[in-house]
Structure 1
Amino acid sequence: MKVKFFAYIRDYTNCKETDFEYCETLEMLLRRLSEAYGEKFRNKVFQGNQLSKEVIILVNGRHIAHLDGISTKLNREDVVAIFPVVAGG
């Protein structure tokens, strides 16, 4: 599956995108990405055991709020995009 990183999330991963091993659920993917990319990434994506409100995650262009949230089932061909929440002025 392809995972794309945007804005300062790229600073934590040192890449724009990666082909990552298949994970059955979004939560499993995020936990494995956290293991791969370390504490800064994990702290941005998770708040305790919950998904952080500091990220927006899309699966195949659909916000996970319109799917099954962190429990969203994934397929091998899916594209997951991880964005930081940003505010403008």
Structure 2
Amino acid sequence: MKVKFFAYLRDYTKAKEIELEYCSTVDELLHRLCDRYGDEIRRKLFNGSELSNEIIILINGRHIAHLEGRNTILKEDDVISIFPVVAGG
């Protein structure tokens, strides 16, 4: 599966995108990313045990809030995009 990172998240991963071994759910994928990239990305992805409200996760262009959230089932050919929430004015 392909995982794409945007904005400052690329600073933590040192990559725009990676190929990752199959993960069955979004939650498994996020924990694998934390294991791979450490506490800095964990603090951006999670607020305690909850998903941070400072990131947006899309699966094939669909927000996980409109799917099954962290329990969304993934397929091997999915493209996961992870964005920080951006505010502007």
TM-score of Structure 1 vs Structure 2, range by shorter chain: over 0.9
Counterpart for residue 25 of structure 2: 25
Query: What are structure 1's unaligned runs of at least 5 residues?
Result: none
How far the C-alpha of 1:5 sits from its partner, in A, is: 0.1
Equivalences for 1:11-22 in 2 at 5 Å? 11-22=11-22
- The alignment partner of 2:82 has SS state of strand
Report the alpha carbon displacement of residue 87 of structure 1 after superposing the two structures with TM: 0.2
Query: Which whole-Å CA distance do the structure 2 matches of 1:76 and 1:83 have between them?
Result: 21
CA distance in 1, matches of 2:72, 2:48: 19
- Counting aligned pairs with the same residue, the percent is 62
Deviating 4+ runs (over 2 angstroms):
none
Contiguous gaps of at least 5 residues in structure 2: none
**What amino acid is aligned across from residue 60 of structure 2 in structure 1?**
N
Aligned length in residues: 89
SS in 1 for 2:53: coil
- Give the aligned partner of residue 3 of structure 2: 3
Partner residue of 2:54?
54
1:26-56 Cα shifts (integer Å, max 9, x gaps):
0000000011011110100011111000100
Paired residue type of 1:49: S
TM, length-normalised to structure 2: 0.98
- CA drift of 1:59 comes to 0.2
State the alpha-carbon separation in 1 of the partners of residues 39 and 23 from structure 2.
Answer: 20
* SS of equivalent residue, structure 2 residue 58: strand
Measure, in 2, the Cα distance between the counterparts of 1:78 and 1:55: 19
